Amino acid sequence: MSEELTVGAVAYTPNVVPIWEEIRAYFNESGDPGAAMDFVLYSNYGRLVSALLAGHVDIAWNTNLAYVRAVMQTDDHCVALAQRDTDVGFTTVFVARTGSGLTGAEAIAGKRLALGSADSAHAAILPLHYLAQAGVPASDIQIIRFDTDIGKHGDTGRSELDAVEAVLAGDADVAAIGSTTWEAMGRDELMPGALEEVWRTDGYCHCMFTALDTLPPERYQPWLDKLLAMDWENPEHRRILELEGLRRWVSPHLDGYKPLFAAVEEQGIDPRW
């Protein structure tokens, strides 16, 4: 019997614990010892990536920035294994108070832009990258940062709520938030007359299961096969999928990380922390 894999993740909410308890039970319940796993939770993504590089975990459940940093720190000796369907086509949404009259990227030039935590790819790094691509450099914007969940890469959503509340309070004109946060708020369906969408970026990729290329395929392949075999139509699988926020696991879409690699380079973001 082969040794179980150790998967690392970040405990950004207490709910991470029951989620991983259920994921572990799924992998360990079958008669396939090659897929067996345990998990370790870290307080932030810096610790998680360090643990992956040190060999303390075999696989890391990384955010997009953690994946990019793992690739940069290993000189591309990483293997991308799988991601959620909801990690593909992720976007950043720019919202303003209803009736602001702002439309399109160019309307954000000269405005007060509220961003989430500086290490949040979707609420801080990529918004500035896409705005620059659209002809609105950071120097043309008054940036207001809410670094309220540093280390969690924006997973808590807390800094995005702070940014939106600044807009509603009149302290900022526009907030950049993840499309999942915008959906979770209920958009204008639950907040009619409060907020409206000004612009949104192209799609990019978010989280990724990452290993080092020193992990032999025969060690991770049974685990990966079982991960990809989760079925939305199976009620026991569906409960896990709902908790983790996806309908199915998919193979990596590496093109979706190119914007973040570019943004990290443009903005001089530290490859480690």
Interface residue list for another protein (CB under 8 A): 13-15, 17-19, 156-158, 161, 164-165, 168, 184-186, 190-191, 194, 242-243
To the nearest whole angstrom, how small is the minimum distance from the Cβ of residue 89 to another protein?
21
In the complex with another protein, the residue whose CB is nearer, 164 or 208, is 164
To the nearest whole angstrom, how small is the minimum distance from the Cβ of residue 17 to another protein?
6
In the complex with another protein, the residue whose CB is nearer, 19 or 70, is 19
Q: What are phi and psi of 193, to 5 degrees?
A: 80, 5
Tell me the C-alpha distance between 161 and 164, whole Å: 5
Please count the CA atoms within 13 angstroms of the CA of 42 that sit on its side-chain side. Answer: 22
To the nearest whole angstrom, how small is the minimum distance from the Cβ of residue 235 to another protein?
8
In the complex with another protein, the residue whose CB is nearer, 18 or 33, is 18
To the nearest whole angstrom, how small is the minimum distance from the Cβ of residue 18 to another protein?
5
Tell me the C-alpha distance between 67 and 264, whole Å: 12
In the complex with another protein, the residue whose CB is nearer, 9 or 78, is 9
In the complex with another protein, the residue whose CB is nearer, 19 or 205, is 19
In the complex with another protein, the residue whose CB is nearer, 15 or 251, is 15
To the nearest whole angstrom, how small is the minimum distance from the Cβ of residue 268 to another protein?
30
To the nearest whole angstrom, how small is the minimum distance from the Cβ of residue 165 to another protein?
6
Distances (CA, A) of 257 to 108, 254, 263: 25, 6, 10
Single out the residue of 12, 79, 119, 21 nearest to residue 254, CA to CA.
79
In the complex with another protein, the residue whose CB is nearer, 240 or 262, is 240
Residues with Cβ < 8 Å from 50, sequence gap 6 or more?
none
In the complex with another protein, the residue whose CB is nearer, 56 or 158, is 158
Can you list the positions of beta strands (E) in the chain? 5-10, 37-42, 59-62, 78-84, 92-97, 112-115, 142-145, 174-178, 195-200, 208-212, 249-250
To the nearest whole angstrom, how small is the minimum distance from the Cβ of residue 154 to another protein?
12
To the nearest whole angstrom, how small is the minimum distance from the Cβ of residue 20 to another protein?
11
- The three-class DSSP label of residue 83 is strand
Residues with Cβ < 8 Å from 7, sequence gap 6 or more?
20, 37, 38, 39, 40, 57, 58, 59, 60, 61, 209
Helices (H) and strands (E) in the chain, counts: 10, 11
